Amino acid sequence: MKVRVHIMPKSDLLDPQGEAINTALLNLGFSEVLNVRQGKVIDLEMAESDSDLAIRQVDQMCKKLLANSLIENYNLDLI
């Protein structure tokens, strides 16, 4: 079973990487871009065959290691 973790900076926090990308895109002439937020995606292949248990396990991984709950939000998808 595969689980995809989407991690993004919380919306009320500054995102310097997103701002740098936004500035670069504007400098390249992409004036239609209004805002950029940069996050990360982590794909995990799990030995677990029970989807609910796999999601719970990956949720614990996020809480303990993969995401910083003070500055990031995350969501999980089965893929």
Contacting residues for 20 by C-beta, under 8 A, at least 6 apart = none
pTM, to two decimals:
0.88
Judged by phi (left if over 0) then psi (alpha if -120 to 50, else beta), residue 60 lies in alpha
| pLDDT at residue 77 in the model | 97
pLDDT range class, residue 64, cuts 50, 70, 90: very high
What homologous superfamily does CATH list for 2-78?
Phosphoribosylformylglycinamidine synthase subunit PurS (3.30.1280.10)
Q: Where are the domains of the chain?
A: 2-78
- Tens digit of each residue's pLDDT (9 = 90 or more) over 1-58: 999 999 999 999 999 999 999 999 999 999 999 999 999 999 999 999 999 999 999 9
